[in-house]
Every structure is written in structure tokens, then in C-alpha cells.
Amino acid sequence: RDAYGICIDIGTTTVVLVLFDLNNAHPIESIAFLNPQGAYGSDVISRIQYASNLEHLKILSSVITSKIDHEIKQLLDNNAISKDDLFEVVIAANTTMNHLLLGVDPTSLATAPYKSVFLDTIIKPYHEIFPSHFTSNVTILGGFDSYVGGDIVSGVYSQDLHKKDDYNILVDLGTNGEIIIANNKKMFGTSTAAGPAFEGVNIECGIGAVSGAISHFTFNQTPVTINNDTPRGICGSGLLDIVSELYKNDYINKSGYMKNKYFITEDIYLSPKDIREVQLAKSAIRAGIERLLSEANIKPKDIEALYLAGGFGKHVNLNHLSEIGIIPNNLLKKTKVIGNSSLSGAVKYLFQPLSDEVETLRKNCRIINLGTSPEFQELFIKYISF
């Protein structure tokens, strides 16, 4: 009989759904949209603070469950699929997003000792989470820790990092930048507050990776936009291109100082404030990588590959990532862009639903808290400059 499944990546900034035919593992259609919770805070901390009021928690839960339910109906209607033929929904998300999805009070995540109410993989009937009474199950992948969640567990699973002999690094350049170093014997993980700059948020002319977003930029040349549409704003990959090009051409100095706004088109520009947002984000990621290497007592030469995940992966210029200091130069040639690894892991799980592999790998990660690390603070200051 006909059977379909949907995989969902609930990011702090962006949500992606993909519909699959379970009989032939064929992707049928995908939908991406901005997380509607963004209206109540651009990062996890601001949303946790908002959700400390019970009525506000219900609002945050309702806006995301209603929106996802609406988009699932849209996917099914677009493809003339009966709701009775939807068998499975698999969700990968960070720990805060999981709490807000289920309407669970997340305030313990933001107060010492920063404990999650739950980290286990959750399986529930569809109607217990979403407004519609569909008959399918919903699986929410469990996480490693309060700030190293199911999205990065899904990423590790997607690349089989827990099975490889050599050490590999997975870096997710999302709002809550998560980093894993792993081989088949050990796994170390951490998260660092990169902020949403890489996803076009908190940038004055920033937008998501949508049609018309400036995705590539070369100095003194016409910017390239997604779908070659009329420029509407700057997405993450375009932002890094612009910053790198301006730095190379002396519009930005090593400390990040830029005298005036730089106009890419008549009404789209980069401001000095935008440069600071990029500096904070890139320094957080770089310092996190260096701190984890130090904690694991591993040298860059011992790393087989650095997997770079994140929504803008397919557009990003790796040389620019190295030039502005997000990834170490000695790992540049080992860096592989893999796009949305959180979604990839959810897809893999969709077709291996009886496997306990995710639960096994989830329990074998040593979490490093950067918030209490003097070494991280020193590294963060060191890498603020370009």
C-alpha cells in the first residue's frame, strides 16, 4: 500500500520539512520557513526567558505545532496523499526547541546547573503533539545534553562519526553552534552561542537563504543571488563572502573596524554593527573548536575530516571561512561541506526506525561546558580579530 514519511529539522531560525515515499525512499517535496517563534526571541535564551510565563510557553508551543501541522497538510494536499497514508514523522531539533514543541517548561535549561527536563528520544501519536488527528507516529530524536541536542546527535548519526577509526569534527554553524569530535572509541561535544548571524538574522539587511538572497559576492562584481532573483537581502553565505572580500580590500581592518556602511546595491548594505555580529559568531565557533581539540588532547593533524553543517552549506566559500578565521588554516583542506546534517540524520532514521543506534551513540559523549572555561574566554578574545 501507499506509505509516506516526513522528516523535520526544527532549527532556532529555520524549519525544514521533507516528504518521502517510504516504498522507494524517494523524496517528493520539501518546504522551508522561518521558525514563527522568532517573533518572541531570535535565540534560545530569549525564548526560554519568554517561556518562563506559562501562558507564553503555551504560545511558543502553539505557534510551532500549528505551523508544522499546517505545512504537513500542505505537503499531503500538494501531492494528493491521504492523511491515512502518512506513517511516520521524524523530528531533529535542539533541546530547547524540543521542550517548546512539547510545551515542557524549559527554564531549567537557563539556570544552573542547566539541566534538561528530558533528553530521551520521544515517540508519540501525532495528535498528542499537533492539532490534527492523523494516525501516524512522531519520533523526536533525543539529545546529548541541554545545549548539545538532537540536531547534532542526528548529524553524528548521518555521517557515522561514531563508527570511524580516525577522529573527525562536526561543526553545525547554526544559531546554537554545536561541535563534536568523535571516533569509534571516544566522543567530545560542546555548544557555543554563535547567534543567528550565519542565518541572516540580526544583520541589518539580512534574510534567510531564500530566493533573491545574496549568496555569493566578489569585490566590484555584481552579487549572485539565489535563483538569480532580484536582490532582496543578504543570507549567511553572502554575508561571509562580503566580510571576507571587504577585509581583503582594506574596507575592514584586522580589529573589525569599518568606517561607513558598504552598499552592495542601492538599498542593501553591510554596516559596522553587522561586522561585530560576524566577529562574535565566528570567534565563538573558532574558540569552541580549539577548546574541544585541547580537551580531547588531539592535534589538527590527527583529524581525518572537518564536516561543516548548516543551512547555508551548499553556498558557502570555504576559503572565506578560513580567511576570516572561522576554521583553522590547517584544517581547510580537510573540510567537507555537508549541508543540513540534522535533516540528513532524520532521513536516515526514517528508513531504519527499529535501530537503537541513535540511543547507543547518544549515551557515549563527554560534554565540555565552555561557560566555565577560562581557556575558552581567552581563545574567544584572541579570535575576535580577523
In a structure prediction context, what are the per-residue pLDDT tens digits for the chain, which is 386 residues long? Answer: 899 999 999 998 889 999 999 999 999 999 999 899 999 998 889 999 999 999 999 999 999 999 999 999 999 999 999 999 999 999 999 999 999 999 999 999 998 888 999 999 999 999 999 999 999 999 999 999 999 999 999 999 999 999 999 999 999 887 778 999 999 999 999 998 777 788 777 899 998 877 899 999 999 899 999 999 999 999 888 999 999 999 999 999 999 999 999 999 999 999 999 999 999 999 999 999 999 999 999 999 999 999 999 766 666 788 888 888 998 999 999 999 998 999 999 999 999 876 788 888 888 899 998 888 899 999 999 999 98
- What pLDDT is attached to residue 35? 94
Q: What gap in Å lies between CA 126 and CA 133, rounded to an integer? A: 7
Q: What gap in Å lies between CA 145 and CA 78, rounded to an integer? A: 37
**For residues 144, 148, 151 and 156, what is the CA-based torsion angle, rounded to 10 degrees?**
-70
- What pLDDT is attached to residue 283? 94
Q: Which amino acid is at 361?
A: L
- What pLDDT is attached to residue 198? 81
Q: Is 80 left (phi over 0), alpha (psi -120 to 50) or beta?
A: left
Task: Find all residues with CB under 8 Å of 313, minimum gap 6, and list them.
Answer: 173, 337, 338, 339, 340
Task: Find all residues with CB under 8 Å of 376, minimum gap 6, and list them.
Answer: 192, 287, 288, 291, 370
| Environment class of 293 (CB within 10 Å of its CB; exposed 0-12, middle 13-18, buried 19+) | buried
- What pLDDT is attached to residue 174? 75
Is the distance from CB of 214 to CB of 223 less than 8 angstroms? yes
Question: How many Cβ atoms are within 10 Å of 311's Cβ, its own excluded?
Answer: 28
- What pLDDT is attached to residue 42? 83
- What pLDDT is attached to residue 349? 95
